[in-house]
Amino acid sequence: MESLYAITTGVLTACGLYLILRSRTFPVVVGLTLLSYAVNLFLFSMGGLTTDGAALVDGAGDYADPLPQALVLTAIVIGFAMTAFVVILAMRARSEAGNDHVDGRKHEAGEGRR
């Protein structure tokens, strides 16, 4: 399970980073969202992965670390608000600049040649 979890987080992070580096605002926003999913998954695993553990300590035995759950909840809320904000901001930028380039440029250098 650990390797599956790690690969999932890694792939999400890689895709997110790739999209953030794009030059149009929409892929950048999607990239930020993917990155925040990856971070949430990562935070979730930081207390160590347990299966079939109790949600709270009930005496002896296996239990899941409750703190990462609280942190992930906070991170999700903040990430969600930020995504909403950045979507609106991207739309404002689109209407102000007349295009959706992150620098407000009309054409990418070399884009016309293709």
Partner 1 sequence: MSSHLIVLPVVLPLVAGILLLFQRQGSVRVKRLIGTGATLALLLVGIALVARAAGGEVTYYALGDWQPPFGIVLVLDRLSALMVLLTAVLAVGAVVFACAGDDERGSNFHGLFQWQLMGINGAFLTGDLFNLFVFFEVLLLASYALLLHGGGKERIMSGVHYVVLNLAGSSLFLIAVGILYGATGTLNMADMATRLATLPAEREGLVVAGGLMLLVVFGLKAAILPLYFWLPKAYAAAPAPVAALFAIMTKVGIYAILRVYSLVFGEAAGPLANLEQAWVWWLSLGTLVAAAIGVLAARDLRLLVAYLVLVSVGTLLAGIGIGTPAAVSALLYYLIHTTLITGGLFLLAEMIGAQRGQAGTRLVKGRPLRQGGWLAVLFFAGAIAVAGMPPLSGAIGKALLLAAAEGAERAWLWPILLLSGLAAIIALSRAGSTLFWRSTGEADGQRLAHRQWFGVAWLIGVAPLLVVLAGPLVDYTDATAEQLANPESLTRTLLNTEGDAP
Q: For residues 103 and 97, what is the distance between their CA atoms, to the nearest angstrom?
A: 9
Query: 48 by DSSP, 3-state: which?
Result: coil
Q: Which two tokens stand for residue 40?
A: 């949430």
Name the minimum Å distance from CB 40 to partner 1.
8
Nearer to partner 1, 99 or 111 (CB): 99
Nearer to partner 1, 7 or 82 (CB): 82
Residues that bind partner 1 (CB under 8 A): 20, 25, 28, 32, 35-36, 38-39, 42-43, 46-48, 67-68, 71, 74-75, 78, 81-82, 85-86, 89-90, 92-93, 96-97, 102-104
* Residue pair 35/75 in contact by the 8 Å Cβ criterion: no
